[in-house]
Amino acid sequence: MHEIEYEVHGDDMQFVEIILDPSEAVVAEAGGMMYMEQGIEMETIFGDGSQQSGGFLNSLLGAGKRMLVGESLFMTVFQNRSPRRTKVAFAAPYPGKIIPLHLQQIGGELIAQKDAFLCGAKGVSVGIAFQKKIGVGLFGGEGFIMERLQGDGWAFLHAGGTLLCRDLSPGETLRVDTGCVVAYTPSIDFDIQYVGKIKSALFGGEGLFFATLRGPGRVWLQSLPFSRMADRIVRASKVSGSGGREEGSMLGGLGGLLAGDNE
């Protein structure tokens, strides 16, 4: 595993700047790079980003796992080929926080939602984790398959909005919205619980199911899931599209008709 240094910049729209010594490398998902200094070379690899020592068959297996998660079959390695220290930076895809995690310090493994992985030291493996409980797969918000990060170096995840990290003691349970779960250690028992009351399920606005996280272990939660933000944008665009420029007016659509917006 490559040892790397880093610094996270920004507040709501963050980016992580990684400092690479000669021959050090970082692996990232496609499209996340913000900038890189002279001396860094890019290489596309086939598979899950781990050390490519297992031959083509292992690379093919890793690529197949990534395809099941919905990711590209390829990842990009940024390696410092110069004799001096250089920097490469990766930007968050939407407002939120970048989470630096040293996998060795949390047991070498982490379960994360799809698309949470931003980048990591070369050697971090980005595979899949199947949900064994059918309820979690059907109603857990992320389906049967999530990302499994393995290794002993730095990995960087992205969470929407504000981040909350909680350590749960044995038997302690936390109920959260299914979309707010960013990641958790494998010792956490992840399950789904029905809201319980028909009126709450239909009119409460929180959906039919909660995610239940039972300790021991550590969980990372986000205050603004991307799906929630996208849904609000779509609904707002429909309102503005139907009412024209009078979005804040009590006249609403009538104001648009009087202004001649609807032809």
Q: Which residue has the higher pLDDT, 97 or 232?
A: 97
Averaged pLDDT for residues 190-201 = 66
pLDDT at 20: 96
Does the pLDDT at position 263 exceed 50? no
For residues 33-62, give the mean pLDDT.
70
Coil/strand/helix, residue 186: coil
Could you report the per-residue pLDDT of 70-125, keeping only the tens digit for each? 555 678 899 999 999 999 999 998 889 999 999 999 999 999 988 889 999 988 88
CA distance linking residue 263 with residue 257, whole number of Å: 9
Q: What is the mean pLDDT of residues 168-175?
A: 95
Show Cβ contacts of residue 78 under 8 Å, excluding neighbours closer than 6 positions.
20, 25, 26, 27, 28, 33, 36, 40, 41, 42, 88
pLDDT bin (cut points 50, 70, 90) of residue 199 is low
What pLDDT, on a 0 to 100 scale, did the predictor assign at position 157?
95
Q: Is the peptide bond before 170 cis (omega within 30 degrees of 0)?
A: no
Segment among 14-18, 151-155, 214-218, 246-250 with least mean pLDDT: 246-250
Q: Which of 209, 214, 186 is nearest to 134 (CA)?
A: 209
**How does pLDDT run across 133-166, given as a tens digit for each residue?**
544 445 444 545 788 899 999 999 999 999 999 9
**Cα 74–78–82 angle (5° rounding)?**
150
Q: What residue type is 155 in one-letter code?
A: A
What residue segments make up the domains of the chain, in order of their start? Answer: 5-230
pLDDT of residue 112: 92
Q: Report yes or no: 211 and 192 within 8 Å, Cβ to Cβ.
A: yes
Quick one: CATH architecture of 5-230? Answer: 4-Layer Sandwich (3.60)
Percent of the chain predicted with pLDDT > 70: 68
| The pLDDT of residue 129 | 78
Q: In the prediction, which pLDDT does 182 show?
A: 92
Residue 132's pLDDT is 57
